[in-house]
A and B are shown apart, each in its own frame.
Chain A
Amino acid sequence: AQSVAQPEDQVNVAEGNPLTVKCTYSVSGNPYLFWYVQYPNRGLQFLLKYITGDNLVKGSYGFEAEFNKSQTSFHLKKPSALVSDSALYFCAVRDRGNRDDKIIFGKGTRLHILP
């Protein structure tokens, strides 16, 4: 069965500094990987995804993520954090080897950008 781990409940970063939100996954086959962001009282918004190809994926709002197969990781990064990046971030995985189409989410990491 697939699973996702986000080891940090909260990450604090000063505005202007680089940020990293960690994610590791476990699947039996090859993964589809996703990052979503949730602002207060809102649904989830898609940030980026890895399907195949280049291990460095660029997404919305200046975010990027690097797929590392050997470490089974898909960390979310941004070179310079903004206060408006403060939100709840979810990593998710879908196992390509499964016939069903479900994706499994991590528990989320709250990102707090300090002005």
Chain B
Amino acid sequence: DAGITQSPRYKITETGRQVTLMCHQTWSHSYMFWYRQDLGHGLRLIYYSAAADITDKGEVPDGYVVSRSKTENFPLTLESATRSQTSVYFCASRTGDGYTFGSGTRLTVV
């Protein structure tokens, strides 16, 4: 009964490498979201998805790609990581009128 699981918990990668952050929900919630958290910026929406195979851009989508082939999974890919993408990434799903968040992935790009 984990709810939303994000993996990995921590990741260090090199500039230019591709990296994928995983998000899995144990429910069947339609809406899922990816946010990044940075000091001074709070949480900013990267991408969201209304259902399988339906995704849309948020506030800061550049440099990221998402897919949603299955309702329960919503991976976020950095196609060519940059230092500015060093951040903590949170996945969330909509639960009724509220939202449940995963524990986050701390990504460092060196």
Contact = CB atoms under 8 A, between A and B. Distances in A.
Interface of A: 6, 32, 34, 36, 42-46, 49, 51, 90, 100-108
Contacts of B94: 101
Contacts of A51: 97
A68 B60 CA distance: 30
Contact of A43 (B44, B56, B58, B90): B90
Interface of B: 31, 33, 35, 40-45, 48, 50, 56, 58-59, 90, 92, 94, 97-104
Nearest to B38: A107
Contact of A107 (B31, B35, B42, B50): B42
Contacts of B98: 34, 46, 49
Contacts of B56: 100
A80 B82 CA distance: 45
Contact of A105 (B35, B40, B102, B103): B35
Interface residues of B, dominant DSSP: strand
Contacts of A90: 42-43
A102 B43 contact: no
B65 to A, nearest CB: 18
Contacts of A46: 98-100
A43 B103 CA distance: 4
18 contacts: A36-B101, A43-B103, A43-B104, A44-B90, A44-B92, A46-B98, A46-B99, A49-B97, A90-B42, A100-B48, A101-B31, A101-B48, A101-B94, A102-B58, A104-B59, A105-B43, A107-B40, A108-B42
Contacts of B40: 107
Contacts of B33: 102-103
**Which of A32, A104, A106: most chain B CB closer than 10 A?**
A104
A45 B101 CA distance: 7
